[in-house]
Structure 1
Amino acid sequence: MKRGLLIAAMAGMVLTSNVANAAAPPASWDGLVKVKSKRLDLAYLQPGADFRGYTKVMLDPTEVAFEKNWQRDYNSSSRDLSSRVSDRDVQQALVKGVAASNEIFAEAWSKGGYQVVTEPGPDVLRIKTGVVNITVNAPDVRTSSRGVTLAPEAGQATFFIEARDSLTGALLGRAVDQRYAGDYGGGNWRTSASNRGDFRDLVSGWARDGVNGLNNLKALSPIRP
């Protein structure tokens, strides 16, 4: 199975406290072993990996993707034709999402004390991230109405992060996490503007988790099986 498909498959089986019947995640994944994580739903590390020498990061463009049937399901439930999400709306949202996510992750690593570089090196960790399976309750489309939606949350998404040695390509770790965007519970007015802010906060939280996670891995290195 290709790496991208495998990541998508794992993202689909993220465990949350609200999914009691979800299948148990595997104990190993591409040679990585499952470890406990305080912040992320699933985390896997390469036994013996040593993260202490990495002071710089090389960031791949963030993968951004909506849940496969989100557009279809949203449009089928919309009574106002002008509020339906077009293919163009989806593509524009993806372009904006990639640009915003790239900016957020780069800023987080820089603030965390890691130089963001574009070339491999012995002290460079290559980071791949993705924000996928996105659903949005109030898409940014023009409507003939006020353009607000009453919903318990702005939407949700699944995050994945993968770390490799930049020179050898050796896989050192992966993690997957699923969260709601915005405050969950009750009913709140959701608009396209508030959703953009909620999703930006969501991605910013994952970016900080990535930086803090590497700092913790340095303290725990070399990783024991």
Structure 2
Amino acid sequence: MRSFAIVASLLLATATVPAAIAQDEHSWDNLLRVKAKKMDAVYLLPQADFRGYTKVMLDPTQVAMRKDWKRDRNNETVGIFEDVTDRDVTRILTEARTGFEKLLREAYTKAGYQIVTEPAADVLRIETAVVDIDVEAPDTMSAGMTRVYTHEAGGAVLVVEARDSVTGAVLGRAVDGDTTGDLGPYLRNRATNTGEFEQLFSHWAKVSVDGLAELKQLSPVDAQGRLAKR
């Protein structure tokens, strides 16, 4: 998990693709960047074969707020709302972790994958991180009748890493940064924020499952033939 924690930490400086990728956008470790429609960036191990994986191990999702989010929020709303506290941050992170993990498990189960806890030859290990979390109008449950309207509830960055559960070999990695719905200014509170992020997380969970199905069809992966445009 340590190597993946390092990967996730690189995302704290941006809401799209991490700076570490920008330094060599066509490769990451031994993975090659390939064309992707549903994610900002997808990297695959050449000749990786996903056909034999019928079960998945889902590691606990790592979560992190956007760098300086608490400080920025309190500076922007000084004298208007109660300050965001460490307790608020902990609550947001806990809800993000449990919410995403629940939706991810549901998506893989619905797709017919057995979720297991032990490595095996037919088990794909999936590590996830939801980082750079930005909540535009966090509900601090303060007293009063103040209402907050924003175009979106916030945003985050997803990192998904697929490994062979026995050898630990990294087979693929994907990154996607997105915001919640922005159709117009809506009242923001704890309930509406939760609903918007659930929609985003549900979308990411489905993309993860659909992506694995596509990789099975393409296996063994011709990463060289699917290289992103230079």
Tell me the secondary structure at the aligned position of residue 109 of structure 1.
helix
Deviations 1:129-154 (A, max 9, x none): 11110111121311123353121111
1:44 aligns with 2:53: no
> What does residue 121 of structure 1 align with?
120
Aligned equivalents of 2:217 and 2:98: distance in 1? 32
Could you state the TM-score of these two structures normalised by the residue count of structure 1? 0.90
Choose from 182, 202, 212 the match for 1:214.
212
Aligned-pair identity (%): 45
Partners in 1 of 2:176 and 2:152 — Cα distance? 17
Cα shift readout 1:80-135 (whole Å, capped 9, x = no counterpart): 47532101111122222222221111111101111110011111000001111011
CA shift, 1:221, in A, is: 0.4
Partner Cα distance (2:70, 2:48) in 1: 41
Q: By how many angstroms is 1:8 displaced?
A: 3.1
Let me know the Cα RMSD of the aligned residues. 2.1
* Aligned twin of 1:19: none
Q: 1:147 to 1:195 in 2, by over 3 A?
A: farther
Query: What is residue 227 of structure 2 aligned with on the other side?
Result: none
Aligned runs of 1:123-202 on 2, under 5 Å?
A: 123-146=122-145, 148-181=147-180, 183-202=181-200
8 Å contact from structure 1 (residues 135, 156) kept in 2: yes
| 8 A Cα contact 2:11 2:132, kept in partner | no
Report the CA distance between 1:25 and its aligned residue: 5.5
Contact 2:12 2:66 in 1 (8 A): no
Segments of 5+ residues of structure 1 without an aligned counterpart are: 17-21
- Number of residues paired by the alignment? 219
Q: Is the 8 A contact 1:11 1:160 kept in 2?
A: no
Inter-partner Cα distance in structure 2 for 1:13 and 1:194:
25
Mark the CA change 1:82 to 1:7 in structure 2 (over 3 Å): closer, same or farther: closer
The separation in 2 between residues aligned to 1:76 and 1:145, in whole angstroms, is: 20
Aligned counterparts of 1:42 and 1:15: Cα–Cα separation in 2 = 9
The answer to whether structure 1 residue 8 and structure 2 residue 9 are counterparts is: yes
Deviation, 1:186, is: 3.9
**Contact 2:34–2:43 (CA under 8 A) maintained in structure 1:** yes
The 1:13–1:48 alpha-carbon spacing in structure 2 relative to 1, beyond 3 Å, is farther
